[in-house]
Amino acid sequence: MIYRIAIALTFLLLIPGCSEPEHDGRLTRIEETIPESPEEALSCLDSINYESLTDADKQYFDFLTIKSQDKAFIRHTSDSLILKVIEREDKNTNKERYAETLYYGARVYHDLGDLPTALNYYQNALDILTEEGGDISLRGSILSQIGDLLNTLRLYEQAIPYVEEVIMADSVSKDSVNLMYDTELLGSIHLHVKNYDSAELLFNKSKEFAKRTALADTTRHNLYLAAIKYYKGQIDSALNLIRPTMLNIDSISRNTALAYACHIYRQASIPDTALMYAYELLHSKNPHNRKTGYQILLSDELKDYIPSDSIVRYACDYKDIVESYLNQNGNQAALIQNSFYNYQLHQREKIKAEAANKRLFNWLGGFLLAILILSIYVLYLKNKNKSQLVELHEAINIVNTLQRELHITRDNCNDSSGSVQISSPESAISQDRHSPNIQDLRVRLREALLSIRSMGNQSYSVSPIILESEAYEKILDYINNSSLKKYS
């Protein structure tokens, strides 16, 4: 009883440690608003007195702050807060929340430009969700981010499986918005590896999704389709797509659109429009694709349209940009190489861990199987031993009964003056209980049978009572079936 009470008390003490703490209701409600209105969530967080919260709620508050900022597309500028949250969540029994924390850790390092660390956090979060079978939506976000990051690092072949998996998940969950973006991402990757037919098919699919969910995004899809037509040498089709695109493209994608428009209009022998877009690239506040603007201005087809006194200046500026680009490319190549090494290292460690777990599982399974077989064998031997003991006791009782019959018959016939001393059935049973040893019982039974045999050598007639007795019939049965041979 004391043992049971101790177990029950231990179980009751462990329950609070295994359960999630009850958070401040305000924080719980704020988390529910983040997906739809992260800006409102941040405003609500600002209205809460941080110092009045418990330690658990302070941790929750910090996590919600990072999550809200990320959903509101506010660029992360420091990793100090997320590192504290990750350290505290590492001790939490809720692995799904820990995986989500690692995901936002990856988002922070993604914004900070530390792509190898971001990739590592993404992979760790994905591993936890794979083992725990957690939130499908979070898993999809992680897969999409990994694919996008690998695409940024130009690890296109490695990115494709992740994006294909998330597209499959989007299709199952019927998430049209993410299905549009992830299909577009996969199209971009195929565009980079020059799989133009696959890219075109994917961009057209993404465009169809956009028509139902985000019509404004079709302009961006037309831009990529125009690029594909340009690379495939279908300039007329490229012109038909780029013209309306340049009128509706957003500021984020405009420099990319300008670069493609320069190439398309130059190839279409429309130099004035090509020059116009090249000049816009040169004077854009966004340096992205500025190199393309100089390249177009100094090309053989357009250089004659440039004032001679400007060509030297453009050539010098172009040289500086190219040198800067090469230096940046060198750094980027080093980053890519380092990231790829870290990625491969993570994959190797993951494979090694899975192999080790599989070996451990096989060893454990084999050990348990051996224990099971041994247990069955021990039970079999124990049952066999018990059966033999029962049979030996029964045989000894029968022999004792026969001895009594023989004594009675001999006394009645007066054929002998002495008698053979054999233990009575009661004494034999009493001895067996104190020493239930098969070998001892076999010896005792053999001695009893030999004693009966020696009595049988004496000349006297067997009483019909014995011949007709049940004990005699059983003895004959034992002899005829050789049941006692195994005891001899």
Distances in whole angstroms, Cα of residue 258 to Cα of each of 24, 264, 475: 51, 10, 112
Torsion of CA 475, 477, 483, 488, to 10 degrees: 30
- Concatenated DSSP letters for 176-210? HHHHHHHHHHHHHHHHHTT-HHHHHHHHHHHHHHH
**Tens digit of pLDDT per residue, the chain (488 long)?**
444 544 444 444 444 444 455 677 888 899 889 988 999 999 999 998 988 888 888 888 999 999 999 999 899 999 999 999 998 887 776 778 889 999 999 999 999 988 888 988 998 888 888 765 667 888 889 999 999 988 888 889 989 999 999 999 888 888 888 999 999 999 999 999 999 999 999 999 999 999 988 888 999 999 999 999 999 999 999 999 999 999 999 988 999 999 999 999 999 999 999 999 999 998 888 888 888 888 888 888 887 887 777 776 777 777 767 766 666 555 555 555 565 566 566 666 666 766 777 788 888 888 888 888 988 888 888 887 787 777 777 777 787 777 777 677 666 665 444 433 444 444 444 444 454 577 777 777 777 777 776 665 555 566 677 777 777 777 777 677 654 444 44
- Distance, in Å, from the CA atom of 113 to the CA atom of 328, rounded to the nearest integer, reads 14
Asked whether 203 and 228 are in contact (CB, 8 A), the reply is yes
- Distance, in Å, from the CA atom of 120 to the CA atom of 97, rounded to the nearest integer, reads 17
Distances in whole angstroms, Cα of residue 144 to Cα of each of 132, 169, 244, 472: 19, 11, 30, 90
